[in-house]
Amino acid sequence: MKMKKLKNVWLFLSFILMVAGMASCSMDDPTGVDVSRDDIIGTWKVTANDWTNSEGESGRNDPEHMGQTLSVKSGGTALFRGESFNWTLSKGVLTLSDNRGRNIRVVILSYTEEEIQASYDCTFESEMYTEEGNYTFKRV
């Protein structure tokens, strides 16, 4: 009888650890707010940003980012910072990618018809370079 109780305790503890492990994994891959394709189609201007990169550099509201536009087109293409991308949207995450190995993952944290606040991370596979940060976009 004692062995059966001990076995049940171990099963219960294993279950708790498994649930805790799954919960911690979900925090590593956040999803954004629920937005539709129609919500994000249009032209958006960067009005605030901060970033850090894999080379130890960082910045806030610097000219390289401020005023840049993100044009999201209905056909699944986008222009951002003068570059062409294909885009997809799933669970509030906008993914921009191109044929040169660049991928930008934008998690939409808040959305109104006039403003998007988002966190992002981007990978440039060919250059082994990464960057992450936050953007605020205003609809143009």
Residue 133 has pLDDT above 60, yes or no: yes
Q: Which tens digit of pLDDT belongs to each residue from 17-57?
A: 444 444 434 445 567 899 999 999 999 999 999 999 999 99
Percent of the chain with pLDDT over 70: 79
In the chain, domain spans: 1-30, 37-139
- What is the spatial distance between Cα 86 and Cα 73, in angstroms, rounded to a whole number? 9
Bridge pairing between strands 77-80 and 115-124: unpaired
Query: Does pTM surpass 0.85?
Result: no
pLDDT recorded at residue 11? 46
Residue with tokens 């001990």: 6
Q: Is 91 within 8 Å of 32 (Cβ atoms)?
A: yes
Lowest-confidence range among 15-24, 67-76, 102-111? 15-24
Q: In whole numbers, what is the pLDDT of the chain averaged over residues?
A: 85
Q: So what's the architecture of 37-139 in CATH?
A: Beta Barrel (2.40)
Enter the DSSP assignment of 126. G
- What is the spatial distance between Cα 113 and Cα 109, in angstroms, rounded to a whole number? 14
Residue with tokens 């992002």: 120
Phi, psi (deg, nearest 5) at residue 130:
-130, 155
Which is higher by pLDDT, 115 or 102? 115
